[in-house]
Amino acid sequence: MKILIYPAIFLAILSSNNRSFAQTHRCGTDEYSAALLKTNPDLLKSLTAYNESLAALNSSDTKLSKKGTTRTIPVVFHVIHTYGAENISKAQIEDQLRIMNEAYQRQNGDTSATRSIFKGVASDMDVEFKMARIDPNGNCTEGITRTYSYLTDGGDDAVKNLIRWPYRTYLNIWVVKNIVRDASAGSRVLGYATLPAFTNSTADGIVILSDYVGSIGTASSNGSKGRVLIHEGGHWLGLYHPFQGGCGGNCSSSGDYICDTPPVAEPNFGCNKTTNSCSNDSPDQLDMVENYMDYADGICQNMFTKGQKAVVDNSLTKANLRSLNVSAANHTATGVFTSPSCTPIADFNTNTNIVTVCQGGTVNFKDYTYNGIVSSYAWTLEGGTPSTSTLSAPTIQYSTAGNYTVTLSVTNAQGTNTMVKTKMITVVPTQSNITTPVSEGFEDAQILNGKWKSWETADYGWKRITTTKYTGTAGMEAYIDEGTANNSTYSLVSQPYNLSVLQGLLPKLKFRVAYRPGITGNTEVLTVYVTTDCGQTWKPLKAYSNATGLGVDKVVELGWKPTTQAEWNELTLDLKAYETSKNLMLRFEARSRSGNSIFLDNINIQADLISTGQLLNPSNLLVNVYPNPSKGLVNIDIETEGKRYDGTKIYSITGQEIMYDNTLLTKSGTLMTQIIPKLEAGIYFAQINIDGQLILKKFIIIP
Ligand SMILES: [Ca+2]
Ligand SMILES: [Ca+2]
Ligand SMILES: [Zn+2]
């Protein structure tokens, strides 16, 4: 028997998938395998050797008809989440394990649905999957880890760097919200696996969508019935798709290269039991849509075959494939035949996942503890009322503005575990003491330690940098490169600002950005949001792409940084709708396209009433308004540095011009003093005009 399986099969499948199956859900294993081969040509040798080893296998070996020894595979589910629905329950994961074990031992409830033409080859695989009960550090585990990371939005293989357990010991299964391995619109990759021939210590295992794990919870309505992981498990154990090699008369060089599974021309979707996509197979059989390794609907799939079992047996008896995973020593190491009670692992968030609140508001905390039953909770809530709690889900009031740490300790008979979230809760003042106009140049090295916040603290995302800036010594970079997950987002959140002093003065947000796309036809996106309710809701003001001012539509090398001021754009947004807000916050959200960083600097909130000239940075020239507040006259000292003085306009808080004066009253060298006569009690702005440039100063007249 000569087998000819070469990487071309993966490439063929790739193009075939893109052509025919763009609108549906599918497995990403072929695409993934092709990508691995491309980046590591050495794998070809391993793949060829593996495929040739299949040649010795015989689907009709009589021992395949007998019940053999059950091979137990220790598994761990790594749930990668951002406290959303993708953080699936233990019950849903256990439901998946039950479904897998039934399928791999032909104990599934629908074996009777296997057509009589295939009943004779249907087979028990003698495989079971059991939760690891000892983790790599020797700690007690329930076989589920939970990791908070935005990579769940489409990190694909990047999630494997967040957490992995040794691959010869455990089958690693990463559960994610989204897999972006599907480049074609409309299709959704449900999962992908590493074939035994491609096994390596960093990538080995299965990635699966959270809402396709099991048949309950978030997977209850999609019809997959837990079959996706059965299918991916088949790949992990060495099985190919029945359409892998296409049609052919020789069963060992067509289809999945197994003789009791008819070759299939292209993946079968739905559940059409009359399909015969290959007519040159010998003997010519209908497509086995019941097979777990095709793409038919979950309700349609109900069988593996003896020939497939021969392949799995091969994988489970070779040390370079999967035999170490099912060894007795490994069962001891992973504790799969024990069922200890474990110390719980503390985990929590707010129940809305929102971590900002207005001064005086309340926060409801939610318990996400896992790995064991909790007998007692101990919360420490800095800045909160009450400041401690023994409830599982306390409601806490925060009355003073600031950033506060939350700590949860959980205990049972096995022990105590503690999670600390440093400065987790931001309490926003009702009225910010940061008045506008304001200019933020990110010069403060500590700016991200309590003033501004970078929501995602991963390798990627917003960082203060001194290697490039528009002015001063620092700016901000939303760090993105070719390794950043496509569509992952990173948010930079401002301090609250009191805009009300600019009421009537047409407040504007102006800021500098620098960006160049790293990939043709693909642009990162910067979206600016505002909130007037302390971050409970965010309103998008504008999403900037290359076409709308983010950068220049010229692809540059990856890793580009601006080196001159000319490479920065100034963008302006109208804030008139928010002019009464006393605690307006801004959010700059960078969306990755796996290309280049977005740079940000010089964020200004300022009045736009002044229509001519440029608002001077008040620190450039000495301007002193006094007394302020005043019961009568107001003096304005101006150090003109010899420049021309063009007078001062006074505006009311609502933006009406009250007076204009250009009479120099006193002068001493280059210092002049303008006197403003007594005005009615209220808030005013003095717009000082020096050599065509303008300075805005607020002053208050009290009765
Ligand atoms: Ca076959
Ligand atoms: Ca056929
Ligand atoms: Zn597949």
Distance 45 CA to ligand 2 centre (A): 31
Distance 235 CA to ligand 3 centre (A): 7
Ligand nearest to the backbone CA of 229: 3
Which of 216-225, 249-258, 510-519, 615-624 has the weakest average pLDDT?
615-624
Looking at residue 620, its pLDDT comes to: 58
User: Would you place residue 370 in the very low, low, confident or very high pLDDT band (cuts 50, 70, 90)?
Assistant: very high
pLDDT of 2 above 50: no
pLDDT of 8 above 60: no
Looking at residue 1, its pLDDT comes to: 35
User: Would you place residue 616 in the very low, low, confident or very high pLDDT band (cuts 50, 70, 90)?
Assistant: low
Which of 170-179, 469-478, 557-566 has the weakest average pLDDT?
557-566
Looking at residue 435, its pLDDT comes to: 82
Name the 3-class secondary structure at 312.
Answer: helix
CA torsion sign for 619, 622, 625, 627 is: positive
How much is the average pLDDT of 292-316? 94
pLDDT of 303 above 70: yes
Distance 36 CA to ligand 3 centre (A): 15
Pairing outcome for strands 525-531 and 539-544: antiparallel
CA torsion sign for 381, 386, 388, 394 is: negative
- Residue-averaged pLDDT of the chain: 89
Ligand nearest to the backbone CA of 284: 2
Distance 246 CA to ligand 2 centre (A): 11
| Nearest CA among 591, 559, 586, 560 for reference residue 575 | 586
Query: 188-212: per-residue pLDDT in tens?
Result: 899 999 999 988 888 999 999 999 9
Tell me the angle at which helices 29-39 and 8-20 cross, rounded to the nearest 10 degrees: 130
Distance 144 CA to ligand 3 centre (A): 24
Ligand nearest to the backbone CA of 281: 2
382 is catalytic: no
The DSSP line for 451-483 is TSEES--SSSEEEEESSS-SSSS-EEEEE--TT
Single pTM value for the model: 0.82
Distance 58 CA to ligand 2 centre (A): 20
The residue type of 121 is V
User: Would you place residue 554 in the very low, low, confident or very high pLDDT band (cuts 50, 70, 90)?
Assistant: confident
Looking at residue 6, its pLDDT comes to: 46
Distance 305 CA to ligand 1 centre (A): 10
User: Would you place residue 23 in the very low, low, confident or very high pLDDT band (cuts 50, 70, 90)?
Assistant: very low
Distance 30 CA to ligand 3 centre (A): 7
Query: 519-539: per-residue pLDDT in tens?
Result: 887 889 999 999 999 999 999
**Would you tell me how many other CB atoms lie within 10 Å of the CB of residue 38?**
12
C-alpha 562/C-alpha 599 separation (Å) is 8
Q: How many CA atoms lie within 13 A of 678 on its CB side?
A: 4
Query: 372-417: per-residue pLDDT in tens?
Result: 999 999 999 999 999 999 999 999 999 999 999 999 999 999 999 9
Q: Which residue among 31, 128, 232, 266 is the active-site one?
A: 232
Looking at residue 200, its pLDDT comes to: 83
Which two three-digit tokens encode residue 90?
């233990």
Ligand nearest to the backbone CA of 240: 3
Ligand nearest to the backbone CA of 285: 2
How much is the average pLDDT of 597-616? 74
Looking at residue 692, its pLDDT comes to: 65
Q: Where are the extended beta strands (E) located within 59-113?
A: 71-81
C-alpha 122/C-alpha 101 separation (Å) is 16
How much is the average pLDDT of 161-174? 97
C-alpha 535/C-alpha 401 separation (Å) is 14
| Residue 92 CA from chain centroid, whole number | 22
Query: 130-147: per-residue pLDDT in tens?
Result: 999 999 999 999 999 999
Looking at residue 596, its pLDDT comes to: 93
pLDDT of 24 above 90: no
C-alpha 243/C-alpha 254 separation (Å) is 8
- Sequence length of the chain is 703
Looking at residue 78, its pLDDT comes to: 98
- Spatial contact of 169 and 75, defined as CB atoms under 8 Å apart: no
Cα-based angle 459, 463, 464 (whole degrees, multiple of 5): 150
Which of 332-346, 470-484, 538-552, 612-626 has the weakest average pLDDT?
612-626
The better pLDDT of the pair 322, 43 is held by: 322
Which of 178-182, 469-473, 480-484, 613-617 has the weakest average pLDDT?
613-617
Looking at residue 3, its pLDDT comes to: 41
List all residues 6 or more positions away from 230 whose beta carbon is below 8 Å from its beta carbon: 99, 100, 103, 104, 292, 301
| Nearest CA among 499, 507, 695 for reference residue 607 | 507
pLDDT of 642 above 80: no
- Ramachandran class of 154: left when φ > 0, alpha when ψ lies in -120 to 50, beta otherwise: left
Domains of the chain, earliest start first: 8-328 (3.40.390.10), 348-428 (2.60.40.10), 438-607 (2.60.120.200), 623-701 (2.60.40.1930)
- Spatial contact of 55 and 2, defined as CB atoms under 8 Å apart: yes
State the SS3 of 560-571. CCCCCHHHCEEE
Looking at residue 222, its pLDDT comes to: 86
User: Would you place residue 615 in the very low, low, confident or very high pLDDT band (cuts 50, 70, 90)?
Assistant: low
pLDDT of 14 above 50: no
pLDDT of 671 above 80: yes
